[in-house]
Amino acid sequence: MNIFQRINLHLLGTLLCLALVGIRPAQTFEFKGLRNLVGPGDAVVVSGPDNRILFSHNTDALLIPASTLKVLTALTAFHTLGEGYRFQTEFYMDSASNLKIKGYGDPLLISEVIADIAALLYDLLKANGHSLSNIIVDPSYFDRAVVIPGVTDTAEPYDSPNGALCVNFNTVNFKTINRKYTSAESQTPLLPMTLGHIKKTGLPQGRITLSHQKDEIVFYAGRLFKYFLEQAGVKVTGKVLLGNVKSADRRILLFHSPFSLKQGVEKMMTYSNNFMANQILLEAGISQAGPPGTLQKGVAAAKKYAKNELSMDGLQITEGSGISRKNRITAKNLHKILLKFKPHFRLLRQDEEDFYKTGTLKNISTRVGFIGQDETISYAYVILCNTPGKSATLIKNRLKDLLSR
């Protein structure tokens, strides 16, 4: 059968449901106009409310998914960790009154959360006279050499490095007031250690991304904790140092993130945050293979999930965000992944009746999503444009126009 021909009629009940939401049933239209929008290096799959394939093109070609790969990362994490999972951070005191902070990969350890932690620690340090010596940061839960394929050394947030103890996505937003640099976020101070990076940009305002070089991201985390502890009334007499928690150290606080994994995934999808995607994938890998977290363990967890839960072999992925051009997947398999995500469709970005995730790399335009008002009546679509100049959004717009007539 020609790929542009219609398939069997839907059940009458499905037709009535579609009529109620103003979307035209699939069997009443031809997919006219899509052919010219789809290039030779592209693939498209469209399915109806009953998951039957209505339109397919080039579905077995291994193509670059870009950020649409985040849907698989989310499913892997939901399966291995649970939707209600919360990342944690531990705080210890040693015999020399040093505060030790051990990170466990929390991707949403932001200034507002750190301020709340500092208030808790102030109360817990009452017996210590609300004072401590050094702050010792422990990033050993992740491998120190986590390098994400596709990430480059730029100030862009999508190039933020991953680690066990990271704050504010390893980025710093700045601006100038009266020719002086200051923080562009009222809740976050501009720490002196960032000024060198900021001056090198030559910009009056913008963002810098911290790196693994000289353990910069870990020391930044420790110094931001130091700032908020001092703001809370804790006296810190020493420095921020790199170290490890010892068996003799006393844990004084096990802090769980105020954000569940489900909430984190929604933020990841909304902002297409690559840092969050790989933090989540690394934690999923640890849940399967134990610490320290490595990219290999995370990728293995995703492949295991795809094979065992989706009967999917031959998945070619190297990380969990989609930033790597080495990631390859077929539209057929991405469609399977998307349908599995259907119960969570409201975690995707929304544009009227379109719930979607896009992906963009140089000469790559991708989009997956659902069209409709309810998960039982939504059309699912996968659009992978790997042909330079082709647009997944244009194809989606044409598809939505056909469905809405």
**pLDDT tens sequence across 202-223:** 999 999 999 988 899 999 999 9
- Is residue 350 located within the same domain as residue 400? yes
Q: Does the CA dihedral 56-62-64-66 come out positive or negative?
A: positive
- Is residue 170 located within the same domain as residue 136? yes
Largest CA distance in the chain: 79
- Is residue 95 located within the same domain as residue 16? no
Of 235, 259, 283, the residue at which a domain comes to its end is: 259
Compute φ and ψ for 78, nearest 5 degrees.
Answer: -60, -40
Can you read off the two tokens belonging to residue 86? 């919360």
- Output the domain CATH number for residue 41: 3.30.450
pLDDT at 36: 85
**Is omega for the bond preceding 258 within 30 degrees of 0, making it cis?**
no
Q: How confident is the model at residue 34 (pLDDT cuts 50, 70, 90)?
A: confident
Residue 7: is its pLDDT beyond 80? no
pLDDT at 30: 62
Q: Does the CA dihedral 143-149-153-157 come out positive or negative?
A: negative
Residue 71 placed within a domain? no
Please give the tally of structural domains in the chain: 2
Residue 255: is its pLDDT beyond 70? yes
Mean confidence (pLDDT) of the chain:
91
- Is residue 130 located within the same domain as residue 200? yes
Residue 130: is its pLDDT beyond 50? yes
Residue 6 placed within a domain? no
**Mean pLDDT, to the nearest integer, of 32-48?**
91
- Is residue 52 located within the same domain as residue 133? no
- Is residue 54 located within the same domain as residue 179? no
Residue 32: is its pLDDT beyond 50? yes
C-alpha closest to that of 155 among 220, 205, 119 = 205
How much of the chain exceeds pLDDT 70, in percent?
Answer: 92
CA-to-CA distance for 365 and 354, rounded, in angstroms? 17
Q: How confident is the model at residue 15 (pLDDT cuts 50, 70, 90)?
A: very low
pLDDT at 375: 67
Domain of 139, in residue numbers: 88-259
Compute φ and ψ for 261, nearest 5 degrees.
Answer: -60, -40
pLDDT at 8: 36
Residue 60 placed within a domain? yes
Amino acid (one-letter) located at 234: V
Residue 270 placed within a domain? no
**Mean pLDDT, to the nearest integer, of 13-34?**
49
Residue 10: is its pLDDT beyond 60? no
pLDDT at 20: 38
**Mean pLDDT, to the nearest integer, of 99-123?**
98
Residue 14: is its pLDDT beyond 80? no
Q: How confident is the model at residue 28 (pLDDT cuts 50, 70, 90)?
A: very low
Q: How confident is the model at residue 374 (pLDDT cuts 50, 70, 90)?
A: confident
- Is residue 207 located within the same domain as residue 128? yes
List 253's β-bridge partners, or say none.
91
Residue 292 placed within a domain? no
**Mean pLDDT, to the nearest integer, of 12-17?**
38
CA-to-CA distance for 149 and 70, rounded, in angstroms? 15
- Is residue 149 located within the same domain as residue 24? no
**Mean pLDDT, to the nearest integer, of 141-145?**
91
- Output the domain CATH number for residue 132: 3.50.80.20
The model's pLDDT over 305-359, given as tens digits with 9 standing for 90+, comes to: 999 999 998 889 999 999 999 999 999 999 999 999 999 999 999 998 999 999 9
Residue 322 falls in which region: left (phi positive, over 0), alpha (psi -120 to 50) or beta: left
Compute φ and ψ for 127, nearest 5 degrees.
Answer: -65, -20
- Is residue 121 located within the same domain as residue 199? yes
**Mean pLDDT, to the nearest integer, of 30-39?**
81
**Mean pLDDT, to the nearest integer, of 50-65?**
95
Residue 61: is its pLDDT beyond 90? yes
Residue 83: is its pLDDT beyond 70? yes
Residue 306 placed within a domain? no
Of 215, 233, 259, the residue at which a domain comes to its end is: 259
- Is residue 365 located within the same domain as residue 239? no
CA-to-CA distance for 146 and 212, rounded, in angstroms? 9
Of 227, 244, 259, the residue at which a domain comes to its end is: 259
- Is residue 215 located within the same domain as residue 173? yes
